[in-house]
Amino acid sequence: MSFTTEKVQAAVDSILETLQEGTSSLHSEALAAFKSGNHDRVKRLASTNLADSYCRSLGYLGSALKLTPNTDTILAEAARAAADFAKERELHRLSQAIHTALN
């Protein structure tokens, strides 16, 4: 199967839609670096914030557009990290809602 920049960009856009704007200044910095094409900075943020799924996802995405034989794997890992982040974000939101409702 061959990749095109357009197909991979569509997948990247879907993952970015899942990530949204993030929830911290770290996420803002990582997203700004990603959007400006500073993928080395994103990878550094991901490598120095190992537990952060948002940065991990963006770190993978920077390599996706290189269209290598590993593009499938890179997109899959970026998507898994984005899904992890979305789950964490929703658990936090629901925890806050329950806290507010019960207090």
How many structural domains compose the chain?
A: 1
Q: Left, alpha or beta for 5 (phi > 0: left; psi -120 to 50: alpha)?
A: alpha
**Which domain covers residue 9, as residue numbers?**
5-102
Percent of the chain whose pLDDT exceeds 90: 95
What number is the average pLDDT over the span 8-20? 97
Q: Are 78 and 19 in contact (CB under 8 A)?
A: no
Residue 28 and residue 21 in contact, taking contact as beta carbons nearer than 8 Å: yes
What is the pTM for the complete model shown? Answer: 0.92
- Which amino acid is located at 50 in the chain? L
pLDDT at 59 over 70: yes
Q: pLDDT at position 1, please?
A: 60
pLDDT of residue 3: 84
Give residue 47's pLDDT band: very low, low, confident or very high (50, 70, 90). very high
* pLDDT over 70 percentage in the chain: 99
